[in-house]
Copies of this chain bind each other. A is one copy, B any other.
Amino acid sequence: MLFSMDHWRHAFKLDPNKEISDKDLESVCESGTDGIIVGGTDDVTLPGVVDLVSRVKKYSVPCVLEVSSIDAISPEFDAYLIPMVLNSQDKQWMMDVQHEAIKQYKHFMSWKEMFFEGYCVMNEDAKAFTYTNCKLPTREDVLAYAYMAEHVFHLPYFYLEYSGMYGDPDLVYDVSSELGQTKLIYGGGIHTLAEAKEMSMYADMIVVGNAIYTNLTEALQTVRIKQQSF
């Protein structure tokens, strides 16, 4: 059966550059989350990625890599998420690094396990925002990006990334109304179950990242959105 993330409602995002104890990692992997996303913006290195995935793979939870550097791709993941930064001002981050990767790896990798995601970075203070030279989009810009992700590019995922900052639920709602086939992923600033619930009302999947490292007990509670019916 093909690997799919389409049913995921909750994911934890682990940063290969941040320390996490074996005990805490076990709590995360055994939390009941739908999957682990490994990803970070800067200094993502192959040894860091390999170390983290090998630790996660001790558990049965699916583990996918959000590729931020072509030099840090390890074959041990269940699948690979390839971000295309729609609100970058440089074509490089929208499609050229991806084009280069395809040129190099086309014959070696199983593209059935590659999922391209339309990425929209919503936080001007985020490293990813600066690194990929983004421009802060207006509400109308975001809705048109979502429209393109679905109707022009037919991407499986549209990722609204507030990266450390809790986003605007009204905008998440508007984007969700714009999308049909393309799944909406929300990430950024979710630290509590209440926040997780709010964003889950609109997003198909929520991603909890920083909270793992700041307040793990609260972070683990966010998985309970899966028990709720909305």
Contacts and interface: CB of A to CB of B under 8 A. Distances in A.
Interface of A: 84, 86, 88-91, 94-95, 98-99, 102-103, 106, 111, 116, 140-141, 143-145, 147-148, 151-155
A154 B154 contact: yes
A158 B173 CA distance: 34
Contacts of A84: 152
List of 10 A-B pairs having minimum Cβ-Cβ separation, nearest first: A154-B154, A91-B91, A103-B144, A102-B144, A153-B153, A116-B152, A99-B144, A103-B140, A91-B94, A102-B147
Contacts of A103: 140-141, 143-144
A212 B86 CA distance: 39
A86 to B, nearest CB: 7
Contacts of A95: 86, 94, 148, 152
Residue of A98, A102, A116, A147 ringed by the most chain B CB atoms within 10 A: A102
Nearest to A178: B106
